[in-house]
Amino acid sequence: MSTRLFGEPVRRREDPRLLTGQGRYLDDLGRDALAAAFVRSPHASARIRDVDVAPALDVEGLVAVYTWEDLPERIGRPLPLLIPHPALTHGRTAHPLARDVVRHVGEPVVMVVASDRYAAEDACALIEVDYEPLTPVVGLERAVRGDALVHDDVPGNVGAHLVQEVPGADGRGAAEAIEAAPHTLAFRLHIERSASTPLEGRGVHARWDGRDLRVHSSTQTSTSVRMAVAAALGLPLPNVEVIAPDVGGGFGVKIVHPWPEEILVPWAAMTLGREVKWTEDRREHFIASAHERGQIQDVRVGFDDDGRVLGLDVTILHDHGAYTPYGIIVPIVTSTQLLGPYKIGAYRVEFSSVYTNTLQVTPYRGAGRPQGVFCMERTMDKIARHLGKDRAEVRAANLIGPDEFPYDQGMTFQDGRPLVYDSGDYPRMLRMLKELIGWDDHVGRPGLGIGLGCYVEGTGVGPYEGGHVQVTSDGRVHVSTGLTSQGQGHETAFAQIAASELGVPIERVSVVTGDTRRFGYAVGTFASRAAVMSGNAIALACRKVREKALRIAADALEADPADLEIVEGEVRVVGAPGPAVPLSTVAVLANPLRYAFDEETAKATQFSGAAPPDRPPVAEGDEPGLEGRDYYSPVRSTFAAGMHAAVVETDPDTAEIRVLRYAVVHDCGRLINPMIVEGQIHGGVAQGIGGALYERMVYDEHGQLVNASFMDFLMPYATEIPRVETAHLETPSPLNPLGIKGAGEAGVIPVSAVIASAVEDAEGFPIDRMPLSPSELYHLRLRHAGQEPGGD
Amino acid sequence: MEHEITLVVNGAARRVRVPARRLLSDCLRHDLGLTGTHVGCEHGVCGCCTVLLDGEPVRSCLTFAVSVDGREITTVEGLAGPGGMSPVQRAFGECHALQCGFCTPGFLCTVTALLRDNPSPTEEEVVEGISGNLCRCTGYQNIVKAVHRAAELIAEEGR
């Protein structure tokens, strides 16, 4: 196999179109489509008394107005609960349009279809909805009081409750181990809400031609949208195709499906016999898509004189908002990935996932890991502080050793499989990080702090992905996979894999993702899984193609297939630059023809003499064409890891926090394209900095999201983001043929923990709550100087 | 009521009938079919919709089309020359300064004007110069690198 392209910083093939304005994002499609817009609830909790659409009926360009009562039974049903779990005893999902009650600001109540968006919005503004406001449940503390309910039939607002417990080596449970430990600490941590906030929001475009439905959606899973849409509309699956066009970022939010709009827009297109499009606006994205992160964690830990953890007990309150379409994946990930690269004596984790009258909570890049890592890393720092030890030393005392893999944490991970780490070298990673940031040489002072954070990330979760590879008679290689792309450079990385596996110039390879016309079986893009899952599936499919090409070429060259190789798109005898057969010819020979369409294909026709007259043209068990399809389905996840460190400066007067340096050591197994991996890390760290210092979803007591715009939700600009210094460690995964682990979420995971660690070091008092604004830091200073009462 | 206006877009005069309230971004995208200009927030904060109006960067989502009747507009579709992509476009590709590409047209227009006015900006001037554009993918590091690289390319090519 040629490995020249695998591992090289190959320039992205996506870029020329994206740099010249030739990308095709959702709103770039369907120029003549009708536009949909929605009347959304202004209340967090209310009963709908009446909807009066009459005032809107005179709007010029109005085509249709729909409330829940106008929907056929199968369209009006609650949306699917995507990931059921036995512990999710009270899972609830929304109706596509609100039925009688609304449970968060932004919930869709009426759909309007008009000639263009301006007219649709005009009509929305004139529709009068009469609400009877109810008492909203906002905030975790309020939710668990249970005196007001989000869903009448969910007592105490608790949707799910789950306990996982792993005894220590001596068989003792966490409570007992903590009790018996030489040192114990107990504390509470808070993490606030943030959100994916891709710069392109959601969007759906649908076209119905009387028999077939074509849906474009800005989604992270086109195959699953297709199945959900076909089921909701009662259409045969072959008559529905779903395509993810260029997608302007996802970061998790676009894995949720089907959104109300993904059902309603196709239904409207069928009902009206017209193309219909809906493009989410920024306010809608804030109040009607999904958020993540919000948790309160109560921690008890017992440890020995060296800082080794003997017992850890964590109780998590997780705010999942008004509905649970994505189940309880986020708190499950938090409670399992909390363990990080450490051997924890005995561990008990319990979470309650509760309803509030706020936007639903579903995975955002990191998907619960940032909260888990915040918890564990704060714990490590507190242990070090308690013992007066170096923070890196305490971590080193707890790390899993490089000779202890596979390492079984004894828990059940988010894929329902055992939490078993496949490979890694955490002590070496810690040494690399200390060197990169200059840990041992750092001279701190008040206002200048250094911090670190470590994590392990389960990536490449199943169940499977597939790849299809076809070589056509022009020598081109067409690769397709079902999962989708939102900027990760899949067209490039997958082309590198195919070119390397097949021995063809990368210029001949094209890659299609997220188009159900090309590949119908897939799961989707999330959990840093695309490279691991589709990358390996494509490699396996290429190996099938390669084997077939060598077999066919062996006949032509009268050689043994084992003696052949493919170099620069030609099959030849290994090491011999003699006679060679180009793959284009092999593709011709692979497909016996009756009809030629050019000189080359004439070689495969029935009078050409190419095929022996005594054998069927397509041998038994064989198939025409030079193509292959294969799937990669891992027994369990593979575990990437990373360690980050930062140096921060805090302003003595304004309490502004500046990140002076940020260092990352990262291990995602074998790198396909280091340029793309570094880009993923840079972007992840930037989102992490946003989550640590700037971004939060501010709900008032009425359940109004008061900062639902880019003016008020502070996404960082270039002025807020430090330069990231990176170093890579490559411990290949033994679980997959390419030895790769995922990288997509890596950058974001430990950032809040790292910044808290560094600010704590600079300020000398504990940081137990993120994000941390200058104003909050200022008040913490006053409190710790004894000038302000209270606090937690 | 509709108004007939003429916009000189990427060097070509385009006549279009628009209502007074039509945003320039919508006019470019939906009336003229130039969908390279993107809309990320509709309130002038993200910078995705940045185009050059008589050479100066403006937010097309905060501009009424009728208010720029007769003016010259350059969109991302007009940045490339007859010889191919502009130095700024090439530098962005070379430095991996884009991922999903949604914010990219706004950055390209902003940086094109920035380097015209200041051909060799300092690190600080670069960061300040792009601080009106949001990117959610790249963490900006490679965008900053690309601006410096574009400055080099422009200097080398004497443009």
Which residues on chain B are in Cβ contact (under 8 Å) with A679?
96, 99, 137-138, 142
For A733-768, the pLDDT digits (tens) are 999 999 999 999 999 999 999 999 999 999 999 999
CA pair distance B31, A508, nearest whole angstrom:
37
Which residues on chain A are in Cβ contact (under 8 Å) with B142?
679, 682
For B92-151, the pLDDT digits (tens) are 999 999 999 999 999 999 999 999 999 999 999 999 999 999 999 999 999 999 999 999
For A284-307, the pLDDT digits (tens) are 999 999 999 999 999 999 999 999
Q: Where does the pLDDT of residue B159 fall: very low under 50, low under 70, confident under 90, or very high at 90 and above?
A: low
Per the structure block, which two tokens stand in for A195? 């959100």
Residues A641-646, mean pLDDT to the nearest whole number: 98
Asked whether residue B7 carries a pLDDT value surpassing 50, the answer given is: yes
A114: CB partners within 8 A, 6+ apart: A34, A35, A37, A59, A61, A62, A63, A120, A122, A123
The answer to whether residues A685 and A662 touch, using CB atoms and an 8 Å cutoff, is yes
Shortest distance between the Cα of A5 and any Cα of chain B, in A, equals: 17
A59–B contact, CB cutoff 8 A: no
Collapsed DSSP state (helix, strand, coil) of residue A620: coil
CA pair distance B137, A196, nearest whole angstrom:
11
Q: Exposed/middle/buried for A152, CB within 10 Å: 0-12, 13-18, 19+? A: exposed
Span A463-590+625-632: which CATH code?
3.30.365.10
| Residue percentage of chain A with pLDDT more than 70 | 99
| Residue percentage of chain A with pLDDT more than 90 | 93
Give A 116-135 residues with CB within 8 A of chain B.
Answer: 116, 118
Collapsed DSSP state (helix, strand, coil) of residue A673: coil
Asked whether residue A577 carries a pLDDT value surpassing 80, the answer given is: no
In terms of Cα–Cα distance, which of B26, B45, B2, B23 is closest to A279?
A: B26
The answer to whether residues A754 and A451 touch, using CB atoms and an 8 Å cutoff, is yes
Asked whether residue A103 carries a pLDDT value surpassing 70, the answer given is: yes
CA pair distance A505, A610, nearest whole angstrom:
28
B135–A contact, CB cutoff 8 A: yes
Give me the domains of chain B, ranges plus CATH numbers. 2-78 (3.10.20.30), 87-157 (1.10.150.120)
Asked whether residue A236 carries a pLDDT value surpassing 70, the answer given is: yes
Q: What is the pLDDT of residue A142?
A: 94
* A360 secondary structure, DSSP code: -
**Class level of CATH domain A32-134+196-288:** alpha beta
Please indicate whether, in this complex, the C-beta atoms of A724 and B141 are within 8 angstroms of each other.
Answer: yes
Please indicate whether, in this complex, the C-beta atoms of A721 and B139 are within 8 angstroms of each other.
Answer: yes
Residues A179-194, mean pLDDT to the nearest whole number: 97
**Span(s) in chain A for CATH 3.90.1170.50:** 32-134+196-288
Q: Where does the pLDDT of residue A773 fall: very low under 50, low under 70, confident under 90, or very high at 90 and above?
A: very high
Q: What is the mean pLDDT of chain A?
A: 96
* A84 secondary structure, DSSP code: -
Q: What is the pLDDT of residue A609?
A: 77
In terms of Cα–Cα distance, which of A287, A284, A293 is closest to A252?
A: A293
Shortest distance between the Cα of B70 and any Cα of chain A, in A, equals: 23
Q: What is the pLDDT of residue A788?
A: 67
Give A 506-565 residues with CB within 8 A of chain B.
Answer: none
Please tell me the total number of residues recorded for chain A in this structure.
792
Residues B14-37, mean pLDDT to the nearest whole number: 97
Residue with tokens 């120029």: A31
Which residues on chain B are in Cβ contact (under 8 Å) with A719?
127-128, 131
DSSP string, B23-58: BHHHIIIIIS--TTS--SSSSSSS-TTEEEETTEEE
For A201-235, the pLDDT digits (tens) are 999 999 999 999 999 999 999 999 999 999 999 99
Asked whether residue A481 carries a pLDDT value surpassing 50, the answer given is: yes
- Residue A752 CB-half CA count within 13 A: 34
| Residue percentage of chain B with pLDDT more than 70 | 99
Shortest distance between the Cα of A324 and any Cα of chain B, in A, equals: 26
CA pair distance A409, A429, nearest whole angstrom:
20
For B126-140, the pLDDT digits (tens) are 999 999 999 999 999
Which residues on chain A are in Cβ contact (under 8 Å) with B77?
20-21
Residue of A15, A196, A205, A713 to mutate, testing the B interface (most B Cβ within 10 Å of its Cβ): A15
Is A163-194+291-462+635-784 CATH 3.30.365.10? yes
Give B 10-29 residues with CB within 8 A of chain A.
Answer: 19, 21-22, 29
A489–B contact, CB cutoff 8 A: yes
Which residues on chain B are in Cβ contact (under 8 Å) with A709?
41, 43, 45
Please indicate whether, in this complex, the C-beta atoms of B41 and A747 are within 8 angstroms of each other.
Answer: no
Cis-peptide, bond into residue A133, ω within 30° of zero: no
Asked whether residue A699 carries a pLDDT value surpassing 80, the answer given is: yes
Q: Where does the pLDDT of residue A612 fall: very low under 50, low under 70, confident under 90, or very high at 90 and above?
A: confident
Give A 185-204 residues with CB within 8 A of chain B.
Answer: 197-200
Collapsed DSSP state (helix, strand, coil) of residue A572: strand
The answer to whether residues A327 and A360 touch, using CB atoms and an 8 Å cutoff, is no
Helices (H), A88-238: 117-126, 140-145, 174-180, 222-233
Residue of A8, A11, A18, A664 to mutate, testing the B interface (most B Cβ within 10 Å of its Cβ): A18
In terms of Cα–Cα distance, which of B72, B40, B33 is closest to B59?
A: B40
* A69 secondary structure, DSSP code: G
Bridge partners, A467 (sequence order): A630
DSSP string, A72-129: -HHHHSPPP-SS--TT-TT-----SS--SEE-STT-EEEEEEESSHHHHHHHHHH-EE
Residues B47-63, mean pLDDT to the nearest whole number: 98
Asked whether residue A193 carries a pLDDT value surpassing 90, the answer given is: yes
Measured between alpha carbons, how far is residue A691 from residues A192, A486, A707, A749 in Å?
9, 21, 15, 10
How do beta strands A101-102 and A46-52 pair?
antiparallel
Please indicate whether, in this complex, the C-beta atoms of B105 and A21 are within 8 angstroms of each other.
Answer: yes
Shortest distance between the Cα of B63 and any Cα of chain A, in A, equals: 16
Residues A341-351, mean pLDDT to the nearest whole number: 97
Q: Where does the pLDDT of residue A789 fall: very low under 50, low under 70, confident under 90, or very high at 90 and above?
A: low
Asked whether residue B20 carries a pLDDT value surpassing 80, the answer given is: yes
Asked whether residue A3 carries a pLDDT value surpassing 60, the answer given is: no
Q: What is the pLDDT of residue A792?
A: 44
Which residues on chain A are in Cβ contact (under 8 Å) with B43?
282, 709-711
**Span(s) in chain A for CATH 3.30.365.10:** 163-194+291-462+635-784, 463-590+625-632
In chain A, what's the furthest Cα-to-Cα distance?
A: 98
The answer to whether residues A24 and A94 touch, using CB atoms and an 8 Å cutoff, is no
Measured between alpha carbons, how far is residue A490 from residues A125, A296, A480, A677, A737 in Å?
42, 36, 11, 11, 18
Asked whether residue A58 carries a pLDDT value surpassing 60, the answer given is: yes
pTM (two decimals): 0.96
Which residues on chain A are in Cβ contact (under 8 Å) with B114?
none
Please indicate whether, in this complex, the C-beta atoms of A21 and B41 are within 8 angstroms of each other.
Answer: no
Q: What is the pLDDT of residue A1?
A: 39
**Predicted-assembly ipTM surpassing the 0.90 threshold:** yes
CA pair distance A276, A217, nearest whole angstrom:
12
Residues A548-567, mean pLDDT to the nearest whole number: 94
In terms of Cα–Cα distance, which of A338, A317, A339 is closest to A328?
A: A317
Query: Side by side, which strands form the sheet with A158-166?
Result: A158-166, A346-354, A309-319, A295-303, A183-191, A769-770
The answer to whether residues A217 and A26 touch, using CB atoms and an 8 Å cutoff, is yes
CA pair distance A535, A467, nearest whole angstrom:
8
Asked whether residue B34 carries a pLDDT value surpassing 70, the answer given is: yes
Q: What is the pLDDT of residue A594?
A: 87
Give A 720-779 residues with CB within 8 A of chain B.
Answer: 721, 723-724, 747
Q: What is the pLDDT of residue A341?
A: 98
- Give me the residue from B131, B134, B141 closest to A710, CB to CB: B134
E strand or H helix at A588: helix A583-589
CA pair distance A361, B96, nearest whole angstrom:
32
Which residues on chain A are in Cβ contact (under 8 Å) with B41?
282, 709-710
A97–B contact, CB cutoff 8 A: no
Collapsed DSSP state (helix, strand, coil) of residue A694: helix
DSSP string, A315-330: EEEEE-TT--TTTTHH
Q: What is the pLDDT of residue A26?
A: 98
